[in-house]
Amino acid sequence: MKIFIDTANVEEIREVSTWGFIDGVTTNPSLIAKEGRDIVDVIKEITTLIDGPISAEVHEGLAKDMVKEAIPYAKMHKNIVIKLPMTIEGLKACKELTSKGIKTNVTLVFNLTQAVAAAKCGATYVSPFMGRLDDITLGTGAALIEDIATVFATYEYKTQIIAASIRNVEHVNQALLGGADVATIPFKVLKEMLNHPLTTKGLVIFADASKKK
């Protein structure tokens, strides 16, 4: 499974770029707004930090307008992936951008039929939102990942699944076990998933032992 960081904060991205296992970045309008910077400047800086897929989301609207907004983003760097909303217009834009060889990530996916429609429109990625589903009914996020993975394998769709809206390490485990191709993970959860109380305890024991003559 590939691991992306889910942030537009370039300091977080700079830090994790040294960890050795981050494969890409996803951003969204909320994450960009949080930084108080222009999306083009942020995305440009991210392309210098991570050599992997970088998702930039266009404004939701008519397909022709989303395509028009997407093309300059795509021209910025070979790694740019255009994030499109799971709407009928978003699917039309997905089809058109795919025909132009531009990678796409259909986001705000909350059920199997949305994921299948996006796959049939040639989406490079679909982003089912685990956390927001679990906010309503616990466990439905994991179930959706499993269902999409099963159906994509059955019908040999090439679209990759990005487990998104990850709130905790359990969501990462569920993405792994559910067959997601990617998990996009906030900085806080990336740090949490590398920790365990017994690791900390063991380090203390070993450090103490090393001090003994």
As annotated, the active-site residues are: 83
- The answer to the question of residue 184 lying near ligand E4P (CB under 6 A) is yes
Of 144, 152, 153, the closest CA to residue 174 belongs to 144
Residue closer to ligand E4P (CB basis): 9 or 165: 165
Q: DSSP character for 18?
A: T
The residue sitting closest to ligand E4P, measured at its beta carbon, is: 165
- Ramachandran class of 198: left when φ > 0, alpha when ψ lies in -120 to 50, beta otherwise: alpha
Length of the chain: 213
Gyration radius of the chain over CA positions:
19
Residue closer to ligand E4P (CB basis): 17 or 107: 107
> Which residue of 9, 127, 160, 174 would you call a contact of ligand E4P, by CB under 6 A?
127
Q: Residues near 46 by Cβ (< 8 Å), separated by ≥ 6?
A: 8, 10, 13, 25, 27, 54
Binding to ligand E4P, residues 30-59 (CB under 6 A): 30
Is residue 26 a contact partner of residue 164, using CB atoms and an 8 Å limit?
A: yes
Residue closer to ligand E4P (CB basis): 30 or 210: 30
Is residue 82 a contact partner of residue 102, using CB atoms and an 8 Å limit?
A: yes
- The answer to the question of residue 2 lying near ligand E4P (CB under 6 A) is no
- The answer to the question of residue 104 lying near ligand E4P (CB under 6 A) is no
- The answer to the question of residue 28 lying near ligand E4P (CB under 6 A) is yes
Cα–Cα distance measured from residue 181 to residue 2, given in angstroms and rounded to the nearest whole number: 6
> Which residue of 73, 129, 152, 157 would you call a contact of ligand E4P, by CB under 6 A?
129
User: Which part of the chain contacts ligand E4P (CB under 6 A), choosing from 24-32, 45-53, 142-150, 174-182?
Assistant: 24-32
Residue 31 exposure: Cα atoms within 13 Å on the Cβ side: 21
Residue closer to ligand E4P (CB basis): 142 or 164: 164
> Which residue of 6, 12, 96, 134 would you call a contact of ligand E4P, by CB under 6 A?
6
> Which residue of 56, 94, 164, 175 would you call a contact of ligand E4P, by CB under 6 A?
164
Question: Token pair of 55, please?
Answer: 């998702």
Residues near ligand E4P, by CB under 6 A: 6, 26, 28, 30, 107, 127, 129, 131-132, 164-165, 184
